[in-house]
Amino acid sequence: MKNNQKNRHVYWNPYFGGFLLGILILFTFYITGRGLGASGAMKSSVVAIVDVVAPTHAENNAYYSKFVGKDKSPMNTWLVFEALGVLIGAFLSGGLTGRISWRVQHSPKITSKRRLVFALGGGILFGLGAQIARGCTSGAALSGMAVLSTGGFITMLAIFGSGFAFAYFFRKNWI
Protein backbone atom coordinates (compact mmCIF):
# COMPACT_ATOMS: atom_id res chain seq x y z
CA MET A 1 0.00 0.00 0.00
CA LYS A 2 2.74 2.41 0.98
CA ASN A 3 4.67 1.40 -2.10
CA ASN A 4 1.64 2.06 -4.26
CA GLN A 5 1.15 5.55 -2.85
CA LYS A 6 4.74 6.39 -3.62
CA ASN A 7 4.40 5.17 -7.19
CA ARG A 8 1.20 7.01 -8.02
CA HIS A 9 2.84 9.45 -10.37
CA VAL A 10 5.73 7.38 -11.55
CA TYR A 11 5.12 6.68 -15.20
CA TRP A 12 7.11 4.75 -17.75
CA ASN A 13 10.02 6.32 -19.56
CA PRO A 14 8.29 8.04 -22.53
CA TYR A 15 10.68 6.49 -25.06
CA PHE A 16 9.90 3.02 -23.66
CA GLY A 17 6.15 3.67 -23.85
CA GLY A 18 6.52 5.11 -27.35
CA PHE A 19 8.57 2.12 -28.49
CA LEU A 20 5.94 -0.36 -27.23
CA LEU A 21 3.15 1.71 -28.80
CA GLY A 22 5.02 1.73 -32.11
CA ILE A 23 5.45 -2.06 -31.99
CA LEU A 24 1.72 -2.38 -31.24
CA ILE A 25 0.77 -0.23 -34.24
CA LEU A 26 3.08 -2.29 -36.43
CA PHE A 27 1.58 -5.52 -35.08
CA THR A 28 -1.97 -4.18 -35.66
CA PHE A 29 -1.16 -3.35 -39.29
CA TYR A 30 0.53 -6.75 -39.72
CA ILE A 31 -2.52 -8.63 -38.42
CA THR A 32 -5.43 -6.52 -39.69
CA GLY A 33 -4.03 -4.28 -42.43
CA ARG A 34 -5.37 -1.20 -40.61
CA GLY A 35 -4.28 0.97 -37.71
CA LEU A 36 -5.65 1.80 -34.28
CA GLY A 37 -8.50 4.17 -33.49
CA ALA A 38 -10.42 5.69 -30.61
CA SER A 39 -13.04 8.20 -31.73
CA GLY A 40 -14.69 5.59 -33.97
CA ALA A 41 -16.12 3.77 -30.94
CA MET A 42 -17.71 6.99 -29.65
CA LYS A 43 -19.24 7.67 -33.06
CA SER A 44 -20.66 4.13 -33.08
CA SER A 45 -22.15 4.71 -29.62
CA VAL A 46 -23.87 7.91 -30.76
CA VAL A 47 -25.20 6.19 -33.88
CA ALA A 48 -26.45 3.25 -31.80
CA ILE A 49 -28.20 5.54 -29.28
CA VAL A 50 -29.90 7.56 -32.03
CA ASP A 51 -30.87 4.34 -33.81
CA VAL A 52 -32.61 3.06 -30.66
CA VAL A 53 -34.29 6.35 -29.70
CA ALA A 54 -35.34 7.46 -33.18
CA PRO A 55 -34.83 4.70 -35.79
CA THR A 56 -36.57 6.47 -38.66
CA HIS A 57 -34.56 9.62 -38.02
CA ALA A 58 -31.35 7.57 -38.14
CA GLU A 59 -32.40 6.05 -41.47
CA ASN A 60 -33.24 9.41 -43.01
CA ASN A 61 -30.13 11.24 -41.81
CA ALA A 62 -27.42 11.16 -44.47
CA TYR A 63 -24.65 10.55 -41.90
CA TYR A 64 -26.20 7.98 -39.51
CA SER A 65 -27.59 5.99 -42.43
CA LYS A 66 -24.01 5.18 -43.52
CA PHE A 67 -23.64 3.04 -40.38
CA VAL A 68 -27.10 1.54 -39.78
CA GLY A 69 -28.98 -0.87 -41.99
CA LYS A 70 -30.71 -4.23 -42.11
CA ASP A 71 -27.65 -6.36 -41.48
CA LYS A 72 -25.34 -3.72 -40.01
CA SER A 73 -25.05 -3.11 -36.30
CA PRO A 74 -23.21 0.08 -35.34
CA MET A 75 -21.80 -1.52 -32.18
CA ASN A 76 -20.47 -4.68 -33.86
CA THR A 77 -17.36 -3.06 -35.25
CA TRP A 78 -13.65 -3.59 -34.76
CA LEU A 79 -13.18 -0.18 -33.15
CA VAL A 80 -15.84 -0.76 -30.49
CA PHE A 81 -14.16 -3.99 -29.35
CA GLU A 82 -10.81 -2.25 -29.43
CA ALA A 83 -12.16 0.59 -27.24
CA LEU A 84 -13.48 -1.99 -24.73
CA GLY A 85 -9.96 -3.39 -24.65
CA VAL A 86 -8.51 0.09 -24.01
CA LEU A 87 -10.77 0.45 -20.95
CA ILE A 88 -9.67 -2.96 -19.63
CA GLY A 89 -5.99 -2.31 -20.34
CA ALA A 90 -5.96 1.12 -18.70
CA PHE A 91 -7.87 -0.26 -15.72
CA LEU A 92 -5.25 -3.00 -15.28
CA SER A 93 -2.37 -0.53 -15.54
CA GLY A 94 -4.03 1.94 -13.15
CA GLY A 95 -4.93 -0.86 -10.75
CA LEU A 96 -1.42 -2.28 -10.62
CA THR A 97 0.03 1.14 -9.79
CA GLY A 98 -2.74 2.27 -7.42
CA ARG A 99 -3.97 5.15 -9.56
CA ILE A 100 -7.67 4.23 -9.52
CA SER A 101 -9.94 6.65 -7.66
CA TRP A 102 -12.93 8.88 -8.36
CA ARG A 103 -11.62 12.39 -8.80
CA VAL A 104 -11.60 15.52 -10.91
CA GLN A 105 -8.05 16.34 -11.82
CA HIS A 106 -7.34 20.03 -12.23
CA SER A 107 -4.78 22.73 -11.56
CA PRO A 108 -4.99 24.05 -7.95
CA LYS A 109 -5.62 27.51 -9.41
CA ILE A 110 -9.02 26.60 -10.86
CA THR A 111 -12.19 25.03 -9.43
CA SER A 112 -13.51 21.56 -10.27
CA LYS A 113 -16.52 23.16 -11.87
CA ARG A 114 -14.40 25.23 -14.24
CA ARG A 115 -12.40 22.13 -15.13
CA LEU A 116 -15.56 20.17 -15.95
CA VAL A 117 -17.01 22.99 -18.07
CA PHE A 118 -13.82 23.18 -20.13
CA ALA A 119 -13.63 19.38 -20.37
CA LEU A 120 -17.16 19.32 -21.81
CA GLY A 121 -16.42 22.13 -24.28
CA GLY A 122 -13.11 20.56 -25.31
CA GLY A 123 -14.83 17.21 -25.84
CA ILE A 124 -17.51 18.77 -28.04
CA LEU A 125 -14.84 20.45 -30.19
CA PHE A 126 -12.77 17.28 -30.42
CA GLY A 127 -15.79 15.15 -31.34
CA LEU A 128 -16.79 17.58 -34.07
CA GLY A 129 -13.24 17.93 -35.44
CA ALA A 130 -12.67 14.16 -35.43
CA GLN A 131 -15.72 13.65 -37.66
CA ILE A 132 -14.66 16.39 -40.09
CA ALA A 133 -11.14 14.95 -40.35
CA ARG A 134 -12.39 11.32 -40.35
CA GLY A 135 -10.30 10.31 -37.36
CA CYS A 136 -8.57 11.54 -34.23
CA THR A 137 -5.01 11.54 -32.94
CA SER A 138 -4.97 7.71 -33.03
CA GLY A 139 -6.88 6.87 -36.18
CA ALA A 140 -5.87 9.71 -38.48
CA ALA A 141 -2.60 11.11 -37.17
CA LEU A 142 -0.75 8.17 -35.57
CA SER A 143 -2.01 5.29 -37.75
CA GLY A 144 -1.91 7.53 -40.84
CA MET A 145 1.71 8.44 -40.24
CA ALA A 146 2.70 4.77 -39.92
CA VAL A 147 1.88 4.26 -43.61
CA LEU A 148 3.01 7.76 -44.68
CA SER A 149 -0.56 8.93 -45.36
CA THR A 150 -0.53 12.57 -46.47
CA GLY A 151 -3.80 13.21 -44.65
CA GLY A 152 -2.33 11.71 -41.47
CA PHE A 153 0.60 14.11 -41.51
CA ILE A 154 -1.64 17.11 -42.28
CA THR A 155 -4.04 16.22 -39.45
CA MET A 156 -1.15 15.73 -37.02
CA LEU A 157 0.37 19.13 -37.92
CA ALA A 158 -3.05 20.83 -37.72
CA ILE A 159 -3.87 19.34 -34.28
CA PHE A 160 -0.58 20.29 -32.65
CA GLY A 161 -0.20 23.59 -34.53
CA SER A 162 -3.65 24.67 -33.42
CA GLY A 163 -3.01 23.39 -29.88
CA PHE A 164 0.05 25.64 -29.59
CA ALA A 165 -1.82 28.56 -31.18
CA PHE A 166 -4.74 28.31 -28.75
CA ALA A 167 -2.60 27.42 -25.71
CA TYR A 168 -2.28 31.07 -24.68
CA PHE A 169 -6.05 31.45 -24.19
CA PHE A 170 -6.33 28.41 -21.94
CA ARG A 171 -3.12 28.92 -19.93
CA LYS A 172 -4.96 29.68 -16.70
CA ASN A 173 -6.41 26.16 -16.70
CA TRP A 174 -3.03 24.44 -16.77
CA ILE A 175 -0.18 26.61 -15.45
For the CB of residue 55, give the shortest distance to another protein in the complex, in Å.
Answer: 14
Residues of this chain, 23-82, that bind another protein according to CB under 8 A: 23-36, 38-39, 41-43, 45-47, 50, 61-64, 78-79, 81-82
| Binding-site member from 4, 91, 111, 172 for another protein (CB under 8 A) | 91
**Cα distance between residue 50 and residue 57, in whole Å:** 8
- Identify which of residues 52 and 86 has a Cβ nearer to another protein in the complex: 86
Around Cβ 100, how many Cβ atoms within 10 Å? 12
Min CB(171)–another protein separation in Å: 7
Q: Are 55 and 61 in contact (CB under 8 A)?
A: no
Q: How far apart are CA 23 and CA 67, in angstroms?
A: 31
Q: Is 129 in the site for another protein (CB under 8 A)?
A: yes
Contacts of 33 (CB under 8 A, 6+ apart): none
Task: Give 1 or 10: the residue with its C-beta nearer to another protein.
Answer: 10
